[in-house]
């Protein structure tokens, strides 16, 4: 049975549990992931500035996780951004990602934005949950 625990600025992960979530996301995000340091920064932001971490476990093993950060820009930018979501590759196709997303949608105060690569299989899940593609994202990188 899947158990989902929510962490927030009011109820933070222990240092070792946060390390476990960072390692899980780093491994499970595969080609769609970021360096561990960046994942850790996103979790620290959620705890310091606002947001939440949802961790799905089965038999005390992490099988899924979500990181959502509050943007502080409600009204003109969605109030939340889904920074990371992943399920353990060995547990995919069992509805864990959908359950995590539904819990995140229910727990978030305000709208949620996310970025997804066009070839990411999770794109279908987001669309099925009601996410739409409103904008084409463009980025400018500073050359230093």
Q: What is the DSSP string of 42-92?
A: HHHHHHHHSEEEEEEEETTEEEEEEEEEE-S-TTTS-SEEEEEEEE-GGGT
Q: What are the pLDDT tens digits along the chain (144 aa)?
A: 899 999 999 999 999 999 999 999 999 998 889 999 999 999 999 999 999 999 999 999 999 999 999 999 988 889 999 999 999 999 999 999 999 999 999 999 999 999 888 888 888 888 888 988 877 777 788 998
Do 66 and 54 contact (CB within 8 A), yes or no?
yes
Going by C-alpha positions, the residue among 123, 25, 126, 130 that lies closest to residue 67 is 25
Do 54 and 8 contact (CB within 8 A), yes or no?
no
């Amino acid at each position: 049975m899947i158990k989902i625990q929510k962490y927030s600025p009011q109820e933070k992960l222990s240092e070792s549990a946060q390390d476990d979530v960072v390692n899980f996301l780093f491994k499970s995000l595969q080609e769609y992931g970021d360096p561990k340091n960046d994942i850790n920064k996103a979790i620290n932001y959620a705890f310091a500035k606002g947001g939440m971490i949802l961790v799905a476990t089965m038999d005390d093993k992490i099988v899924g996780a979500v990181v959502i950060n509050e943007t502080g820009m409600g009204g003109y930018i969605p109030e939340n951004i889904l920074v990371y979501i992943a399920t353990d590759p060995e547990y995919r196709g069992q509805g864990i990602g959908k359950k995590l997303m539904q819990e995140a949608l229910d727990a978030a105060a305000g709208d949620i934005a996310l970025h997804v690569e066009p070839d990411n299989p999770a794109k279908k899940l987001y669309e099925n949950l009601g996410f739409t593609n409103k904008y084409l994202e463009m980025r400018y990188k500073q050359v230093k």
